[in-house]
Chains A and B, each alone.
Chain A
């Protein structure tokens, strides 16, 4: 018998019913193939649940539902105001169960509970903010003279595919769903195979607050075959993907080979965090710590290359080492823990491999450099010194609590080092000098420059990458452009007046 739901008791004692099926047309259904996959708690390595795995046929079913909702259903015919109302209701519903969502997220992803609570609060806030956009989509009129009326409208795209990562499951889901729904599209969303639980639970709220069937479809599955089925689908008009640059390339290829669907990508990074001699050292160190150890380093814009001006290098490094060694690693549900588990065994091994490679290439382990404990996918906060720019650990995205630190002397050198990457997602600049801050932020090729702060987001400030870090921007008013297309209507007017 297909198990489509399961009672789960979370580590903090909360008990709830976790849906296991694919959420299609407002119902949880079994995968057509009957296949399931396991969901592991990375802090304990124990099985949380087995969820249904979406295959090509399931994606087709989801697209059918989304297309019907877009073309014929209530969603298409109602006022934009109604979309905003539903998004606000969704935010209210998540807020009513915020504690549960936080606990699900911590158990599934491994992040410390305080961090999951932060994610949930941000997701609620973002759904509310996008609710406010729904009835404010505007285009423009261009005056080209009396002979024409030129209307420039913004219309929704249709069925959009969204593929989200495992590092901030619920928050990334809000960044995707919010703007897509506010602008009138319908959605087929695939969660990451490591972290499907909070997305499925959200499905129960989607139905509860009254979204019409087919508007939001949420499936669990792997890049192959479910992700591919989405990116190759002939009737999906757009795909939004957050994940690695390698997979991002494949997404673009699939889109091109199928129906030239629109693509936006949020990919990897190897973001530099630069400390100038006049920076406040204590503050800079705080931001460096947040920059690489927040979310156990599983952040696309992690400040994973630290560059410190030579005159303060020793001081900064000393304080940084002390701070890194104070970072408490452990059980996500334990008070005072800052850094939880890496999200999966695969990720753990990948990071440990980079640490091995770093040692082999001759970098020096200043602190950390090994697994923490024997149960759960924990890694000690790690700092590598004596690195060269050619080392793999300096060039490639590790996506874990591992950072390299190097010194520089001049501003020009710092900028050159910062830009020495095919990525361009973010950068940190720590300095007290206003002119230097403006100058350096102008010269670094990255989508977000943080001055005297790091990993410091606001939902109205757009986020996205230069270069191989991505295509397009999320958050801010810019997010709406991802989910609308411009239609120009040019009306020829015959002469009416003598």
Chain B
């Protein structure tokens, strides 16, 4: 198989898709010939095959990344020069955004306009944001006594392994790669085997930006092989992972061998709480966004909705009507599509089985509950109501367009229910009462709380979870903590022994 192929996209565009592993600034074949088949979830057809890497390729990537980390071309340049590279990458992304969005749309199934205006806009902004941070990573001087001049320096970690998920392929790449490079690290990125295409394309962007060889390496492969090899490699200084909590636990265990720095963004079963003084019309709209955007394949999806009893029936009625009104489940490259297919057969079948479990456990099916087509992994948005707390659909992360709605009476009750989960990623609440909003936000065990909006993230604001939803924070200045380590320097000025 060649190292690249021409792909024709549904919108007529053609482009050269790299297929190899991007190591040391070049595309190469893996040590052992192995391939991954990339499926288009809209029609179940093969888009292409790409090469898959394993332990031996990870080893190679680590060598390249370590060499680059210590090279004068990377280690020896001014911080603002790193910023210049990131700024250049941002400009290339801006120029190519339609193309990159098309790649993610065909690979992941998300509607194209949403991908351009959402995923790509965010990726561009994130690279630009961290371009502007590179020269602003400062340490501190610390006053202790006249006999000591103490200061701290924030140094890079070194070679960082980064394993990204399939739900926002290129955007997740930006969230990982940009801050890592900003802080002076080098990276080995393992994209998801389900959606490898845009990450492989990123290698070309790095080449065009003139990024020194080995600073960014992209090794495609499976979690169990390439991912595991990366997590347990003793030549890797840090592993950053976004994906399921189950995989996160495995990665943390693997990383323990050399105590490498670990940050994890895992799952969530995020509550949306609607109080009876909420602006109902807005709550309904944000509720739809919170679970059906990106076909529900979002770690911060608010997949449990708690509605205060006085407005419960009214909410359900308006919620279902709104969903019916605006939803178009169709081809991602179609004109009016609001919801594309689930990303893969495995996800599709998993969601269907949760729908069956909801029915079996006695939840009321208020809307949807079935597949939306014969071909392609399309599902109808599904609303279960009168859900009991201990039902599977209320406790487990489904990661699809399925939401569980139930009622509550008091604020104490709903906070207790909201927190009754081992997850703690996000929460949203609707109320017009300032005190209620702020106080409830303070009581929710979640890394992010949205008041009167939902899934309304911003690249300057920290993103991450409490409890089993993860370790550490991404975005904003907080990502800098994840990609640097502190060295304290003590200069003795005259303390003689």
Which residues of chain B come closer than 8 Å to A84, judged between CB atoms?
Answer: 128, 132
B442 touches A497 (CB 8 A): no
| Candidates B149, B411, B412, B460; contact of A135 at CB < 8 Å | B460
Which residues of chain B come closer than 8 Å to A484, judged between CB atoms?
Answer: none
A128 touches B80 (CB 8 A): yes
User: Given known contacts A135-B460, A138-B477, what 13 new A-B pairs fall within 8 Å (CB)?
Assistant: A128-B132, A129-B136, A132-B131, A132-B132, A133-B132, A146-B442, A435-B493, A460-B135, A460-B136, A494-B435, A496-B440, A497-B411, A498-B412
A48 to chain B, nearest CB (A): 34
Distance, CA A84 to CA B436, complexed state (A): 36
Contact with A along B182-209 (1 / 0, CB 8 A): 0000000000000000000000000000
A148 to chain B, nearest CB (A): 9
Judge if A247 is at the interface, Cβ distance under 8 Å.
no
Judge if B6 is at the interface, Cβ distance under 8 Å.
no
B438 touches A493 (CB 8 A): yes
Which residues of chain A come closer than 8 Å to B443, judged between CB atoms?
Answer: 497
B129 touches A435 (CB 8 A): no
B129 touches A135 (CB 8 A): yes
Judge if B2 is at the interface, Cβ distance under 8 Å.
no
5 nearest A-B pairs in the assembled complex, by CB-CB distance: A132-B132, A496-B439, A493-B435, A494-B435, A149-B438
Judge if A438 is at the interface, Cβ distance under 8 Å.
yes
User: Which parts of B431-487 form the interface with A (CB within 8 Å)?
Assistant: 434-436, 438-440, 442-443, 460, 477
A496 touches B435 (CB 8 A): yes
B477 touches A129 (CB 8 A): no
Which residues of chain B come closer than 8 Å to A133, judged between CB atoms?
Answer: 132, 136
B493 touches A460 (CB 8 A): no
Name which residue of chain A comes closest to B433, CB basis.
A496
Which residues of chain A come closer than 8 Å to B412, judged between CB atoms?
Answer: 497-498
Name which residue of chain B comes closest to A494, CB basis.
B435
Which residues of chain A come closer than 8 Å to B131, judged between CB atoms?
Answer: 132
Judge if B125 is at the interface, Cβ distance under 8 Å.
yes
B497 to chain A, nearest CB (A): 15
Distance, CA A138 to CA B138, complexed state (A): 16
Judge if A395 is at the interface, Cβ distance under 8 Å.
no
27 sampled A-B residue pairs with Cβ under 8 A: A81-B125, A84-B128, A125-B80, A128-B83, A128-B87, A129-B136, A132-B132, A132-B133, A133-B132, A133-B136, A134-B132, A135-B460, A136-B133, A146-B442, A438-B493, A460-B135, A460-B136, A477-B136, A477-B138, A493-B434, A493-B438, A493-B439, A496-B435, A496-B439, A497-B411, A497-B439, A497-B443
Which residues of chain B come closer than 8 Å to A131, judged between CB atoms?
Answer: 132
Contact with A along B328-360 (1 / 0, CB 8 A): 000000000000000000000000000000000
User: Which parts of B73-122 form the interface with A (CB within 8 Å)?
Assistant: 80, 83, 87
Contact with A along B218-241 (1 / 0, CB 8 A): 000000000000000000000000
Distance, CA A4 to CA B125, complexed state (A): 40
Judge if A434 is at the interface, Cβ distance under 8 Å.
yes
Judge if B491 is at the interface, Cβ distance under 8 Å.
yes
B434 touches A132 (CB 8 A): no
B75 to chain A, nearest CB (A): 18
Which residues of chain B come closer than 8 Å to A134, judged between CB atoms?
Answer: 132
User: Which parts of A107-132 form the interface with B (CB within 8 Å)?
Assistant: 125, 128-129, 131-132
Name which residue of chain A comes closest to B459, CB basis.
A135
Distance, CA A498 to CA B443, complexed state (A): 13
Judge if A413 is at the interface, Cβ distance under 8 Å.
no
| Candidates A88, A136, A435; contact of B87 at CB < 8 Å | A88
Contact with A along B401-443 (1 / 0, CB 8 A): 0000000000110010000000000000000001110111011
B205 to chain A, nearest CB (A): 19
Residue in B132, B138, B493 with the greatest tally of chain A CB atoms within 10 Å: B132
B149 touches A438 (CB 8 A): yes
Distance, CA A493 to CA B42, complexed state (A): 50
Residues of A participating in the B interface, judged by any CB pair closer than 8 Å: 81, 84-85, 88, 125, 128-129, 131-136, 138, 146, 149, 434-435, 438-439, 459-460, 477, 491, 493-494, 496-498
Name which residue of chain B comes closest to A130, CB basis.
B132
Judge if B72 is at the interface, Cβ distance under 8 Å.
no
Which residues of chain A come closer than 8 Å to B132, judged between CB atoms?
Answer: 84, 128-129, 131-136
A132 touches B136 (CB 8 A): yes
User: Which parts of B37-88 form the interface with A (CB within 8 Å)?
Assistant: 80, 83, 87
| Candidates A81, A88, A438, A460; contact of B138 at CB < 8 Å | A460
B491 touches A459 (CB 8 A): no
Name which residue of chain B comes closest to A498, CB basis.
B412
B125 to chain A, nearest CB (A): 7
Which residues of chain B come closer than 8 Å to A491, judged between CB atoms?
Answer: 434, 438
B477 touches A136 (CB 8 A): yes
B440 touches A129 (CB 8 A): no
B135 touches A459 (CB 8 A): yes
Distance, CA A477 to CA B138, complexed state (A): 9
Residue in B129, B134, B411, B443 with the greatest tally of chain A CB atoms within 10 Å: B129
Judge if B12 is at the interface, Cβ distance under 8 Å.
no
B79 to chain A, nearest CB (A): 8
B129 touches A146 (CB 8 A): no
Which residues of chain A come closer than 8 Å to B80, judged between CB atoms?
Answer: 125, 128-129
Which residues of chain A come closer than 8 Å to B134, judged between CB atoms?
Answer: 132
B494 touches A435 (CB 8 A): yes
Given A128-B80, A136-B460, residue A438 in contact with residue B491 (CB < 8 A): yes
User: Which parts of B8-46 form the interface with A (CB within 8 Å)?
Assistant: none
Which residues of chain A come closer than 8 Å to B136, judged between CB atoms?
Answer: 129, 132-133, 136, 460, 477
Which residues of chain A come closer than 8 Å to B491, judged between CB atoms?
Answer: 434, 438
Which residues of chain A come closer than 8 Å to B440, judged between CB atoms?
Answer: 496
| Candidates A135, A138, A439, A498; contact of B493 at CB < 8 Å | A439
Which residues of chain B come closer than 8 Å to A459, judged between CB atoms?
Answer: 135
Given A81-B125, A434-B491, A435-B493, residue A496 in contact with residue B436 (CB < 8 A): yes
Name which residue of chain A comes closest to B415, CB basis.
A497
Name which residue of chain A comes closest to B137, CB basis.
A460
Which residues of chain A come closer than 8 Å to B477, judged between CB atoms?
Answer: 136, 138
Which residues of chain B come closer than 8 Å to A136, judged between CB atoms?
Answer: 129, 132-133, 136, 460, 477
Distance, CA A81 to CA B83, complexed state (A): 16
Distance, CA A434 to CA B439, complexed state (A): 53
B492 to chain A, nearest CB (A): 9
Which residues of chain A come closer than 8 Å to B138, judged between CB atoms?
Answer: 460, 477
B490 to chain A, nearest CB (A): 12
B90 to chain A, nearest CB (A): 10
Residue in A132, A438, A498 with the greatest tally of chain B CB atoms within 10 Å: A132
B135 touches A129 (CB 8 A): yes
B54 to chain A, nearest CB (A): 39
Which residues of chain A come closer than 8 Å to B460, judged between CB atoms?
Answer: 135-136
Distance, CA A419 to CA B134, complexed state (A): 37
Which residues of chain A come closer than 8 Å to B494, judged between CB atoms?
Answer: 435
B493 touches A496 (CB 8 A): no
Distance, CA A435 to CA B442, complexed state (A): 49
Distance, CA A493 to CA B434, complexed state (A): 8
Which residues of chain A come closer than 8 Å to B135, judged between CB atoms?
Answer: 129, 132, 459-460
B111 to chain A, nearest CB (A): 24
